[in-house]
Amino acid sequence: MQKKRITLKDIARETGVHVSTVSRALDPVERKTITEEVAKRIQAAAENLGYRPNRIAAGLRTNRTMTVGVMIPDITNLIFPPILRGIESVLEPLGYASIIVNTDSERDREIRLLDVLRDRGVDGIIHAAVLRNDPSIAKAAHDGLPVVTLNRKVEASDIPYVINDEDAGICLMLRHLRELGHTSIGHIAGPQDLSTGQLRLAAFRRAAHDLDAEIDDDLIVVATRFDEQEGARCLGELLASGKTFTAVLCANDRLALGAIEALRERGIDCPRQVSVTGFNDMPFLDLIRPKLTTVRIQQHCAGRAAAEILLRLLNGETADDIDIETILPVELVIRESTAPCP
């Protein structure tokens, strides 16, 4: 019986690392891009298994697939098309193709799709759906897979990330509401297992302190998802508290749209009775009535920045060579959903 030929995937299964890491460990040129400990472990496993490299394939440098995985949390969120175009504007001219996967903000699905991308042998991943504490993506990065997170970050890791200036955005919006005379302001915060939700809630508290605005914890409601249904539910919870409020600062646009619809269903006019604000400035907001006052993020630029960082990692730079944090500036956009305090 003919003996089975040992492949890079066999070594990857034996050592528990990604196949691209195995390839780099067995390539004298690429070996320097991973840690010496991991390289030695892979080389020992290859020798024990009797691996014989395909010299022709190595000569053709087929260890790269020229594909990059892009993970997004919600394909229905309109902020992602500009972000994806930003990513592709950097990658496509260099011959890379993007494999886009949608996690639906479900943890099990995210883990499964991450495994799918790794099995496909993607050269790197841009992750816009990551949790604050995500051991699966942290392990992938530790195994040598180039990873950049976008709009979110993984805490206690050296994975580079691109985020927006959450502090500046929330402060600009809270100052705007205060200048309109609002002193009783509710906050619909984002999910706290996501860095975006956590950072914007922390920014709301800091901005309130800096502006000498009193915070009523009964007027802070935390959403479980960044969508319209949660915005409506949280607005209902604010009303059920029995506390008076004349404005609601929401952690993203979709929460704000849900809150406005919930007000409308109860016969409460926005902005004449209650002002509502968002964050992100997703496309087509100027077609919805009332037009939403929000914080504009640089969606296309964010995609480009993440792709440029990933390319540096693909070209052999390490986290030590790259600034782990990239913070993009934001802009206040005043439209129709805010008005002077009644």
| Residues 106-161 pLDDT 10s | 999 999 999 999 988 899 999 999 999 989 999 999 888 999 999 999 998 999 99
Residue 58, pLDDT above cutoff 50: no
Nearest CA among 198, 185, 173 for reference residue 292: 173
When the pLDDT of each residue in the chain is averaged and rounded to a whole number, the result is 90
Q: What's the pLDDT band for 18 if we cut at 50, 70, 90?
A: confident
pLDDT at 1: 35
Q: Hey, what amino acid is at 124?
A: G
d(Cα 136, Cα 125) in Å, to the nearest integer? 13
d(Cα 49, Cα 11) in Å, to the nearest integer? 8
Q: Hey, what amino acid is at 140?
A: A
DSSP characters over 198-254: HHHHHHHHHHHHHTT----GGGEEE-SSSSHHHHHHHHHHHHHTT---SEEEESSHH
Structure confidence by residue, pLDDT tens digits, 203-245: 999 999 999 888 899 999 999 999 999 999 999 999 999 999 9
d(Cα 5, Cα 293) in Å, to the nearest integer? 62
d(Cα 291, Cα 159) in Å, to the nearest integer? 37
Structure confidence by residue, pLDDT tens digits, 274-308: 999 999 999 888 788 999 999 999 999 999 999 99
Nearest CA among 55, 54, 48, 24 for reference residue 38: 24
Strand 124-127 vs strand 67-72: parallel, antiparallel, or unpaired? parallel
Average pLDDT over residues 325-340: 97
Instruction: Please answer whether residues 296 and 281 qualify as being in contact, where contact means their C-beta atoms are separated by less than 8 angstroms.
Output: yes
CA distances from 307 to 80, 208, 254 (A): 14, 35, 26
More confident residue, 4 or 56: 4
Nearest CA among 100, 103, 94, 110 for reference residue 69: 100
pLDDT at 56: 38
Question: What's the token pair of residue 326?
Answer: 């990239």
Q: Is the dihedral of CA 23, 7, 134, 234 positive or negative?
A: positive
Question: What residues does 39 pair with on adjacent strands?
Answer: none
